[in-house]
């Protein structure tokens, strides 16, 4: 290899089909994180797949890194046609001005959908192929919750998914993708990709990939690393709240010019997933007041109650008030502090006009989530007025600090309601500490999270209860009307039957 010019970048968004809030260009430019050209790698605080690309590629003196585009924004609804066109225009401009490119490392999320294009990730791969032709190798680093499509398999040279949930290996995922690209360009390997789709649609289990059936399945393909001829293995348990035609889990095997081995491994993994399907169903969920009653009865603290349906990291607004309403009604039944956070810039602005110690009456929540709840009027004492940023305790975003805007804390007897200007990705204990509260000493901590609590609260939680609240990321999937997913699909169709196809097309290395 000599004088290799490698383009890098990524476009990241997880699209929730049941969220009314569409994604406009400004969501990337003003409310997200966008970098073009050299700015892509000028950020030294990156903790994502692109950081992994750079770490590997910079070690090779024969490689010139050509940064293209990095764009990401909060999970919400589908990308508008204007947004897809906006991102496509920038990507095309960057590719055309880059000159010769010998390979591409790219990090799409893998579950990006548009109002007019179901497979936006595949669409951007088409853009690469139209600009670069079919011979330039492209290796993808995906979130393991990608909805892997035919276009992704056919238009890429290889793809690798993250191997943890909560995702703590995103940098390593980028590193693995970059190594595959370099080995492909040097002629050391010739990737062959086989993907089997499995008709399963379930939310992430409480413990993610840390235990239980999902851990067993992930351990199965991770063990492929020890098999001669295997380049990579991935299992993509999809993003369950996306209503698209190619929905479902994906078992992916990448081998070195050995389609038979890739076929066998992918089939074995797909079959193991199907056999484990009943063990992958969500843990018991409780009505909000029942979850609070159970939490109050647990010895010790903290006890975590999760509102998965309002998970910001899954596309929810984060300001659903159903759980807050239950806490207000049940707070006197709890011996100790009860904590909850809502993003609500309007309420923050009102509280900021008062002094600590004042009593204030304000409408909170229910301003972004207008489908599943209404704002609540509370009368409370102002306990704290401050502002962010806060430390990114759980590494839920790429930066070490998380922006919050203004932060206020309201006290209603033993209930502490923390309000912020901004949404916050992941349950960050630093938010409560910024407001003068030690969350690990509270009796009940309510978190808008599906699995992320494992990272920041899992080591201290005396118990965890999942509240069955309404919202755009409910673990009760039958709440939603799926119109486009292939059927039958387990567990939407409880009696679904499925048999592996005899053969699945392999996409040979480019």
Q: What is the DSSP string of 253-296?
A: EEEES-HHHHHHHHHHHHHHHHHTGGGGSPPPEE-HHHHHHHHH
Q: Examine the domain organization and report whether 172 and 304 are in the same domain.
A: no
Contact 471/152 with Cβ under 8 angstroms? no
Print the SS3 string covering 136-172. CCEEEEECCCCCCCHHHHHHCCEEEECCCCCCCCHHH
Asked if residue 79 belongs to a domain, the reply is yes
Q: How far apart are CA 316 and CA 449, in angstroms?
A: 10
Assess whether 220 and 185 both reside in one domain.
Answer: yes
Determine the pLDDT at residue 20: 82
Same-domain check for residues 267 and 340:
no
> Looking at the structure, do residues 265 and 338 belong to the same domain, yes or no?
no
Any domain includes 182: yes
206-234 tens-digit pLDDT: 778 888 999 999 999 999 999 999 999 99
CA torsion through residues 164, 166, 170, 171, sign: negative
Distance (Å, rounded) from C-alpha 398 to C-alpha 33?
A: 10
* Shared-domain flag, residues 294 and 206: no
* Residue 491 located in a structural domain: no
When divided into structural domains, the chain yields a total of 2
pLDDT at residue 487 greater than cutoff 60: yes
If we measure between CA atoms, which residue out of 46, 199, 49 comes closest to residue 109?
A: 49
In the chain, how long is the greatest CA-to-CA distance? 71
Return d(Cα 317, Cα 310) in angstroms, integer: 7
Considering the domain architecture, whether residues 208 and 291 belong to the same structural domain is answered as no
pLDDT, tens only, 4-30: 999 999 999 999 999 888 999 999 998
> 97 by DSSP, 3-state: which?
helix
> Residue 148 belongs to a domain with what CATH number?
3.40.50.2300
| Residue at 487 is within a domain | no
Whether 291 and 271 share a structural domain: no
Who wins on pLDDT, 262 or 76?
Answer: 262
Percent of the chain with pLDDT over 90: 83
Q: Do residues 22 and 80 lie in contact, with contact meaning Cβ atoms separated by under 8 Å?
A: yes
296 and 262 share one domain: no
* pLDDT band for position 510 (cuts 50, 70, 90): low
DSSP letter string over 335-358?
SS-EEEEEE-HHHHHHHTTS-TT-
pLDDT of the residue at 352: 97
Chain segment 425-472, per-residue pLDDT in tens: 889 999 999 999 999 999 999 999 888 888 899 999 999 999 999 999
Instruction: Note whether residue 496 is domain-resident.
Output: no
**Mean pLDDT score across all residues of the chain:** 93
More confident residue, 383 or 313: 383
Interstrand relation of 338-343 and 444-447 (parallel, antiparallel or unpaired): parallel
Q: Are residues 352 and 374 in the same domain?
A: yes
Q: Say if residues 128 and 104 touch (Cβ distance below 8 Å).
A: yes
Q: Are residues 180 and 214 in the same domain?
A: yes
Distance CA 282, CA 284 (A): 7
Which residues span the domain enclosing 104? 4-280+502-508
Provide the strand spans (E) within 23-98.
33-36, 63-72
**Confidence (pLDDT) at 32:** 87
pTM: 0.84
User: Are 276 and 293 members of one domain?
Assistant: no
Residues 135 and 165 in one domain: yes
489 found inside a domain: no
Residue 407: inside a domain, yes or no? yes
Q: Is residue 493 part of a domain?
A: no
């Amino acid at each position: 290899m000599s004088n290799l010019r490698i383009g890098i970048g990524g476009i990241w968004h997880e699209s929730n089909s049941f969220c009314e809030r569409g994604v406009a260009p400004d969501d990337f430019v003003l409310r997200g994180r966008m970098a073009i050209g050299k700015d892509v790698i000028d950020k030294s605080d990156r903790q994502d797949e692109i950081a992994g690309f750079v770490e590997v590629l910079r070690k090779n003196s024969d490689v010139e890194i050509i940064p293209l585009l990095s764009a990401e924004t909060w999970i919400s609804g589908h990308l508008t046609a204007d947004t897809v066109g906006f991102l496509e225009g920038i990507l095309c401009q960057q590719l055309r001005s880059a000159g010769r490119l010998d390979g591409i490392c790219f990090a799409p999320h893998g579950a990006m959908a548009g109002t007019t294009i179901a497979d936006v990730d595949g669409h951007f791969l088409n853009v690469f192929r139209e600009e670069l032709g079919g011979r330039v190798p492209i290796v993808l680093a995906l979130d393991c919750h990608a909805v892997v499509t035919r276009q992704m398999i056919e238009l890429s040279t290889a793809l690798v998914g993250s191997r943890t949930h909560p995702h703590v290996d995103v940098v390593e995922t980028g590193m693995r993708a970059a190594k595959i690209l370099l080995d492909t360009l040097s002629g050391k390997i010739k990737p062959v990709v086989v993907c089997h789709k499995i008709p399963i649609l379930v939310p992430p289990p409480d413990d993610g990939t840390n235990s239980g059936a999902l851990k067993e399945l992930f351990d199965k393909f991770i063990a492929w690393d020890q098999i001669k001829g295997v380049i990579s293995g991935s299992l993509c348990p999809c993003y369950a709240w996306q209503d698209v035609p190619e929905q479902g889990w994906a078992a992916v095997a990448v081998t070195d010019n050995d389609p038979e081995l890739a076929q066998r491994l992918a089939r074995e993994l797909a079959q193991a997933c199907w056999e484990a399907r009943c063990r992958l169903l969500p843990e018991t969920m409780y009505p909000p007041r029942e979850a609070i009653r159970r939490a109050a009865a647990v010895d010790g603290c903290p006890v975590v109650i999760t509102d998965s349906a309002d998970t910001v990291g899954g596309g929810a607004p984060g300001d659903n008030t159903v759980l807050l309403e239950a806490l207000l009604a049940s707070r006197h039944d709890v011996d100790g502090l009860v904590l909850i956070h809502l993003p609500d810039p309007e309420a923050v602005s009102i509280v900021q006009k008062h002094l600590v110690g004042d009593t204030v009456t304000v409408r909170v929540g229910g301003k972004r989530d207008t489908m599943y709840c209404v704002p609540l009027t509370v009368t409370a004492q102002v306990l704290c007025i401050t502002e962010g940023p806060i430390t990114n305790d759980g590494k839920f975003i790429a930066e070490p600090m998380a922006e919050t805007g203004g932060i206020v804390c309201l006290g209603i007897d033993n209930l502490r309601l923390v309000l912020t200007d901004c949404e916050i990705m992941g349950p960050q204990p630093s938010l409560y500490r910024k407001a003068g509260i030690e969350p690990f000493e509270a009796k009940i901590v309510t978190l808008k999270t599906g699995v992320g609590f494992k990272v920041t609260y899992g080591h201290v939680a005396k118990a965890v209860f999942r509240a069955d609240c309404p919202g755009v990321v409910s673990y009760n999937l039958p709440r939603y009307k799926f119109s486009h997913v292939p059927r039958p699909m387990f567990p939407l169709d409880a009696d679904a039957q499925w048999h592996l196809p005899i053969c699945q097309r392999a996409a040979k290395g480019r």
